[in-house]
Amino acid sequence: VKPFNVQFSHLKDDNSAIDNNSNVESSSEAGNPDDKKGPKSIAEIRDILSKSQDRKISYSQKGLQKEIIETFADLLKTVDKTEVNNLLTLLNKSFSSIVIEEIEKNENVKEQINCIKEDLSNVEEDEEIQRINFDSYLIADEDLVIPEA
C-alpha cells in the first residue's frame, strides 16, 4: 500500500491529467445539493496535499498513527461530502488489510528468529575450528627469481 502523498502525487505534478479529470468531476459534482461549499478547485486540493507533505513524521507507533489520521483528514478535505462515505469505506477496508499484513509480517519475523535460535543452539561451543595455514600458500624465494635469458 502506497502512502497517500505518493498515491496522489500526480495531483501536484501532472496538470493535464488533472484538467481532464476535473471536467468530468465538476459536471457530476455541480448538481450536488448536499455540498453547500461546492467542489474544491484544483489549486485548493494541491494546497491541502502539499501541506500534508511538509509535516515531519515521528517514526514511533504513536507518531505514525497520528500521521495516518492527519493524512486521512487532509484527504477527506479534498473530496465532496458525497465521496466521504465511499472514502471512509475504502479507508476502513485498507486499515483491515494493513493490520492483517502487519500480523503476517510479525509472524514471519518470529519464525525467522526461532529458526536462528534453533540453529545457534545446535552449534557446539567446544567444537574446534579448523585453522587454515596460509604459510603453505606462500611462494618460495627461489620461485620469485626471474631467469636471465
Give the per-residue pLDDT at 114. 95
Would you kindly state where each structural domain of the chain is located, as residue ranges?
4-91
pTM: 0.36
Give the per-residue pLDDT at 21. 42
Give the per-residue pLDDT at 33. 40
Residue with cell 492527519: 70
- What are the average pLDDT values for consecutive 10-residue runs of the chain, which has 149 residues? 53 42 40 51 79 77 83 82 82 84 93 92 70 75 74
Give the per-residue pLDDT at 6. 53
Give the per-residue pLDDT at 92. 83
Q: Is 129 exposed, middle or buried (0-12, 13-18, 19+ CB in 10 A)?
A: exposed
